[in-house]
Chain A
Amino acid sequence: MTNWGMIIDLQKCIGCYSCMISCKQEHFLPPGVFWNRVIIGEDGKYPAVNKQIYPVLCNHCVEAACVKACPTRATTRRDDGIVIIDYDKCVGCRYCLIACPFQQRTFYTDGEKEYFPGQGLTEYEEIGRRLYPLETGTVMKCNFCSERIDAGIEKGLKPGTDREATPACVIACPTEARVFGDLDDPNSEVSRKLREEKGVQLHPEYGTEPSVYYVG
């Protein structure tokens, strides 16, 4: 079985927001909607201050709370471990959004919102709305760039290794802080890194078994 997962090296992350922007660009996300976020905070008191940078995204949990919460089965976990939303089935009850302890879901309400208010849609936004017809009144979140992974596999490419088949945030990272691959394959880079550097999950106490790990 395949179980796609990601490791984020916090020592390598420089907080440049490339992942956040590349994700928006890849999915033509409307204003105010982020599937990838970079949280930057400071710990301690002067002079012993430590800057902390945490890129966060949907954890594609093995025991995803959102999947169990969804009353219409719009949110499902694929066989390869990617948690996806079928916008045509979503009724917009936001139970998944509430149930996600990582707060990684967004309820999309304003379909008319433009990047440049009052100036109409840019050509880029118009293309985006044709390619990714997002539905207002539904919930959305990171899909691990499943469209890139699926298309890549069809071409015989290997996600995590071949750029074309790898999530946009991973290939955009200038410091290679993100590693993507099959967690069930002991020989994949992501598994090796997880073993060697002892990756940790966010809030393991919730028992959702996130597929996104952090090292560093």
Chain B
Amino acid sequence: METYDWMVKYTPQSEWIERRGVLLWLAFFFIELGAGIFFMASFFDNIQAMLAGWLVCAILGGGFHFVFLGKPARFWRIIVSSGWQTSWISRGLIFVSLFLILGLIHLVLTTWADSGVALLVVIDIFAFLTIIYGGFAMNYVNGIPLWNTALLPVLYIVSGLLGGAEIVLGITVASGEISSGIAIEEWIRILMIGYIILIPIYLLSTRYTSVTGKASIRYMLLGRWSQVFWGVVVLVGIIVPVAAIISSYAMGLETTPVAFLYTAIFSGLIGDLTIRYLILRCGLYAPLIPISGTQSTPVRS
């Protein structure tokens, strides 16, 4: 980067998306998806799906998070320090740890007997907190208006639950439990409507919060990342799943082609992963030194 450009133009954050930062994007996605799967599966008492959620969260989410750290061997310091009082990363690790520990106890106990509703309620609370912590961690960053909005955690809750419900539906259909599948699909319809409403509200509200927010939205929707947004997030991530939802609503879940259903589930997950990528990628800082005439184009960091 030219010294002249450095911090006099909008600067995209890079540490959480470039080089090893890509691992954090994957970590947030899999942790929230895994917790979402477990949360949704618990309502349908689907042990297989709960186990899948637990594994996605622990192995993929936790693994990517662990590898992302500059000093992975010191991760225990996050739990033992008093950082949880102010830091969302610290709170998040505590939520994830408690969710995974209690979730494992539940899964082991259910092998022999019913572990009880009370334990499951507690686990679901921690699963829910696991889903939201990433959104709150990003929401704290007031230098990046695209993240510093209360709608971001809400969007992550809805997308985490939607992704979880989609996977649970896939597992349910694969095991031939159509009646449970119909109930899950009703949840997916509601969550998908919420998701479709939230995305434009989130983008529009950020667009009008500040000049930097407007630049972030332009960068995502009209700039370098526009094709990815419209092609992957909107077409693949929203239109294909919506087509599947309409199709199964009209024809019934049992007559909807299974291949179409799985394609829609996969598309939905790809769309969710992509919008999370774009939110990280298009997070712009305001110029440190505002100099007129030099702010139109984000600089590569």
How many whole Å from B49's CB to the nearest CB in chain A?
30
How many whole Å from B111's CB to the nearest CB in chain A?
35
Given contacts A43-B291, A43-B293, contact A99 B78 (CB under 8 A): no
Instruction: Please determine whether A99 and B143 come into contact, CB atoms closer than 8 angstroms.
Output: yes
Instruction: Please determine whether B140 and A69 come into contact, CB atoms closer than 8 angstroms.
Output: yes
> Does A204 sit within 8 A of B, measured CB to CB?
no
Given contacts A72-B78, A95-B137, contact A137 B71 (CB under 8 A): yes
* Residue in chain A with minimal CB distance to B7: A39
- B87, B93, B288, B294: which contacts A202 (Cβ < 8 A)? B288
- A70, A92, A206: which contacts B87 (Cβ < 8 A)? A70
* Residue in chain B with minimal CB distance to A90: B71
Contacts of A74 in B (CB 8 A): 77
Q: Total A-B pairs in contact (CB under 8 Å)?
A: 136
> Does B13 sit within 8 A of A, measured CB to CB?
yes
Given contacts A43-B292, A71-B83, A71-B87, contact A98 B71 (CB under 8 A): no
* Residue in chain A with minimal CB distance to B294: A41
Instruction: Please determine whether B70 and A138 come into contact, CB atoms closer than 8 angstroms.
Output: yes
* Residue in chain B with minimal CB distance to A208: B142
In A78-119, the 8 Å CB interface with B consists of 89-95, 97-103, 107, 109
Contacts of A45 in B (CB 8 A): 293
> Does A37 sit within 8 A of B, measured CB to CB?
yes
In B239-273, the 8 Å CB interface with A consists of none
Instruction: Please determine whether B82 and A73 come into contact, CB atoms closer than 8 angstroms.
Output: yes
C-alpha spacing A107/B144, complex, angstroms: 19
* Residue in chain A with minimal CB distance to B75: A91
Instruction: Please determine whether B285 and A101 come into contact, CB atoms closer than 8 angstroms.
Output: yes
C-alpha spacing A39/B5, complex, angstroms: 8
> Does A131 sit within 8 A of B, measured CB to CB?
no
Max chain A Cβ within 10 angstroms of own Cβ: one of B4, B8, B84: B8
Contacts of B288 in A (CB 8 A): 39, 54, 56, 102-103, 202-203
* Residue in chain B with minimal CB distance to A53: B289
> Does A68 sit within 8 A of B, measured CB to CB?
yes
Instruction: Please determine whether B140 and A90 come into contact, CB atoms closer than 8 angstroms.
Output: no
How many whole Å from B133's CB to the nearest CB in chain A?
11
How many whole Å from B284's CB to the nearest CB in chain A?
11
Instruction: Please determine whether B83 and A73 come into contact, CB atoms closer than 8 angstroms.
Output: yes
- A41, A97, A137, A207: which contacts B8 (Cβ < 8 A)? A41
Instruction: Please determine whether B78 and A91 come into contact, CB atoms closer than 8 angstroms.
Output: yes
* Residue in chain B with minimal CB distance to A88: B74
> Does B149 sit within 8 A of A, measured CB to CB?
no
> Does B141 sit within 8 A of A, measured CB to CB?
yes
Contacts of B68 in A (CB 8 A): 93
C-alpha spacing A91/B144, complex, angstroms: 23
C-alpha spacing A73/B78, complex, angstroms: 8
Instruction: Please determine whether A71 and B90 come into contact, CB atoms closer than 8 angstroms.
Output: yes
Contacts of B292 in A (CB 8 A): 43-44
* Residue in chain B with minimal CB distance to A87: B71
C-alpha spacing A201/B293, complex, angstroms: 22
Instruction: Please determine whether A100 and B143 come into contact, CB atoms closer than 8 angstroms.
Output: yes
Contacts of A107 in B (CB 8 A): 15, 70
Max chain B Cβ within 10 angstroms of own Cβ: one of A38, A39, A91, A97: A91
Instruction: Please determine whether A93 and B69 come into contact, CB atoms closer than 8 angstroms.
Output: yes
> Does A25 sit within 8 A of B, measured CB to CB?
no
- B74, B142, B291: which contacts A101 (Cβ < 8 A)? B142
> Does B3 sit within 8 A of A, measured CB to CB?
yes
Instruction: Please determine whether A98 and B141 come into contact, CB atoms closer than 8 angstroms.
Output: yes
In A36-53, the 8 Å CB interface with B consists of 37-45, 52
Interface string of B1-22 (1 = CB under 8 A from A): 0011011100101011000010
> Does A136 sit within 8 A of B, measured CB to CB?
yes
How many whole Å from A107's CB to the nearest CB in chain B?
6
Q: What are 22 of the A-B contact pairs (CB < 8 Å)?
A: A41-B291, A44-B293, A54-B288, A56-B288, A67-B86, A68-B86, A68-B87, A69-B89, A70-B83, A71-B83, A72-B77, A74-B77, A90-B74, A91-B78, A93-B78, A93-B89, A94-B15, A97-B15, A101-B142, A137-B70, A137-B71, A207-B142
Q: Nearest 3 pairs between A and B by C-beta?
A: A92-B70, A101-B143, A137-B70
With contacts A43-B292, A89-B81, A91-B69 known, what are 9 further pairs, Cβ within 8 A?
A39-B6, A41-B8, A68-B86, A69-B86, A93-B78, A93-B89, A101-B143, A103-B288, A136-B70
